[in-house]
Structure 1
Amino acid sequence: MIASSARLRAVLLAMLVAAAVLPVAHGSEEDHVLVLGRISDDPNAHYRQLKPLLDYVVPRMADVGIREGRILMARDRKQMDSYLRRGRVDWVTETAASGMQLQMGAGAEPLLVTERSGVSRYRTVFFARTDSGIASLEDLKGRSVAFQNPNSTSAYYMPALTLIERGLPMEILLSPRDRPVADSVGYLFARSELNISTWVHKRLVDAGAMSNLDWRSPQRVPDLYRRDMMVFHETPEYPRALEMVRGDLAPAIKARLREVLIAAADDPDASEAMLRFFKTTRFLPLKEEDERSLALVRAGVKRVGSEIE
């Protein structure tokens, strides 16, 4: 009896070891599920933004085997990289810089450009007070510039790349009171566009960088501030947002998802879902100019990561 129990335990242990080393496949019972992912610091709010569009898309993909939709949040980009590589997420909506990071880190592919509030492309503007003596990027040597946060395309990656390409060394500052050395540009993060414009207007920093859309927004740059400030440099345009898919997503599913999203702009049944989806107005095919712009953004992400961070 004791020997029999010992043999049983040995068999069970062998089965457990074998199960532990077997690869876990994404397919089989999960092939009918479309998973929409999001890097989020507010999962509840983002779930409410994502779910209506996912509910719209899933029934229109039954012809390629999709019968269910799920949402999976990631706490940061590294976790989303893991989800994409392991096939746990199929589709992600992101900014251009984050999308390129997911491409480099997890092999994700741009599927469509996302037009939000009628705008599919935007650019970064550098601005300063009119009495600052700053008229060009070169005038930022020995001065300070405020960005938004380390994940922003328009208010970090693209302006930082612009400065690097001009041969301007950059150093992070401890606070607005801190100053850079004479031949470099000091930078720090203000956390919001309104803070950026306030810091510039109050002379806490010498310059700021944000998207041209935010520059025109009274909520982010109050009219009282704007009349004392001016734009002294603008970057080329780049896509405002992207829909990304994992690189090994089945071609039929990828193609159908692309079709459904492009057609959604002309479907009244999709209007409310698209409005909730970050005020999306259309999903657009990538053009050659988008590909060129994304190559620039990708280069910017790499250079900023290697030369600054």
Structure 2
Amino acid sequence: MVLALAITASPAAEPRKVLVLGRISDDPTAHYEQLRPLLDYVVSRMGDVGITEGRVLMARDVQQMQSYLRRGRVDWVTETASGAMRLEARAGARALLLTERHGVSRYHTVYFARRESGIGALEDLRGRSIGFQNRQSTSAYFVPAAELLAQGLPLEILLSPRDAPEPGSVGYLFGRSEFNIASWVHKGLVDAGAMSNLDWDSPRQVPPAFKRDFVIFHESAPFPRALEMVRGDLEPRVAERLREVLIEARDDPAAADALRQFFRTTAFLPIDADTRAGLDGLRDGVARVVADVE
């Protein structure tokens, strides 16, 4: 099967005529179906720079993707902002474009607690607990963890909701879903929760019956929804042509279905100076979380 061959291919570098799109995935078959249509669309428009074939290569985790990038096994990766910054810092990947999904290119983290909790600022979390989603989440783990560390609040993983953090630190648990985080806060199992503003605004993730008992006590600065990355030593003319094709795709009817399947992407946008500055800050924050918490 083509997908299996792509995953287990020899470690030798791919020929220059092949463009390899990578993805960190715990469900390779499903993600292959989402990636392939856009890759085919892109390859069909890159013959002028020698690209005649496209392949998908899945990685099981960020460490494996870092290895693929350093060894020239992957040319282009689509990633969350935190994942992208880890690839930039550890594998020399380069941010090519900002990815807009469902019409949204940036979002931010919302911190919330029960109204009667007495929590009105990040500092009030000292000696208390917070619910995150999982170790891969930008909005519900890396960003809030980095902000708490920047405030001088050490983080301590808890064994269960019944476990209590040390008085000077913030205890955290992974809820695995935004709905679970909201439920834990509502039931008093944790003192606060963190999630993206998009999930906060979703009645499915935060039911109105819960939300009326909550208060938002802090919001982060906005950060990119997702990024398209390329390996640092990708041939400049190939990288630039890939950038052009992706930017132009939003206005090409022939790309509409491929974009929809590509995680509901609505546009690829240039990275301006403000976005780059924000990414630099996010990269430093992610590095601190990896070093101090994991």
| Aligned counterpart for 1:110 among listed residues 95, 100, 105 | 95
Unaligned runs of 5+ in 2: 1-10
Deviation of the 1:153 alpha carbon: 0.9
Distance 2:129 2:270 in 1: 39
Would the aligned equivalents of 2:34 and 2:263 in 1 still touch at CA under 8 Å?
yes
SS of 1:119's equivalent in the other structure is: coil
Deviation of the 1:34 alpha carbon: 0.6
Deviation of the 1:222 alpha carbon: 1.2
CA displacement 1:171-218 (0-9 Å, x = unmatched): 110111111122211011111111111111111111000111111011
| Aligned counterpart for 2:178 among listed residues 193, 207, 220 | 193
Distance 1:88 1:184 in 2: 42
Would the aligned equivalents of 2:12 and 2:73 in 1 still touch at CA under 8 Å?
no
Counterpart of 1:26 in structure 2 is 13
Distance 2:258 2:167 in 1: 51
Counterpart of 2:25 in structure 1 is 40
Distance 2:269 2:16 in 1: 27
Unaligned runs of 5+ in 1: 1-23
Aligned counterparts, 1:150-169, within 5 A:
150-169=135-154
Q: Which amino acid aligns with 2:263?
A: F
Distance 2:208 2:149 in 1: 31
SS of 1:177's equivalent in the other structure is: coil
CA displacement 1:244-264 (0-9 Å, x = unmatched): 000111111100000000000
Aligned counterparts, 1:1-309, within 5 A:
26=13, 30-309=15-294
Distance 2:185 2:50 in 1: 54
TM-score for the superposition, normalised by structure 1:
0.90
Counterpart of 2:3 in structure 1 is none
Counterpart of 1:7 in structure 2 is none
CA displacement 1:248-289 (0-9 Å, x = unmatched): 111111000000000000011111111111110000000111
Q: Which amino acid aligns with 2:198?
A: L
- Once superposed, which parts of structure 1, at least 4 consecutive aligned residues long, lie more than 6 Å away? none
- The number of residues matched between the two structures is 284
SS of 1:236's equivalent in the other structure is: coil
Would the aligned equivalents of 2:199 and 2:205 in 1 still touch at CA under 8 Å?
yes
CA displacement 1:40-87 (0-9 Å, x = unmatched): 001111111101111111110011111111100000111111111111
Counterpart of 1:18 in structure 2 is none
SS of 2:173's equivalent in the other structure is: strand
Deviation of the 1:26 alpha carbon: 2.7
Deviation of the 1:25 alpha carbon: 6.0
Distance 1:224 1:45 in 2: 34
Counterpart of 1:9 in structure 2 is none
Distance 2:224 2:104 in 1: 9
Distance 1:25 1:141 in 2: 50
Would the aligned equivalents of 2:66 and 2:90 in 1 still touch at CA under 8 Å?
yes
Distance 2:12 2:143 in 1: 38
SS of 1:266's equivalent in the other structure is: coil
Q: Which amino acid aligns with 2:181?
A: I
CA displacement 1:104-155 (0-9 Å, x = unmatched): 1111000000001111111111001112121111111111000011111111
What RMSD in Å do the two structures reach over aligned CA positions? 1.1
Q: Which amino acid aligns with 2:293?
A: I
SS of 1:217's equivalent in the other structure is: coil
Distance 2:20 2:248 in 1: 20
Distance 2:257 2:133 in 1: 30
Q: Which amino acid aligns with 2:31?
A: H
Highest Rg: 1 or 2?
A: 1
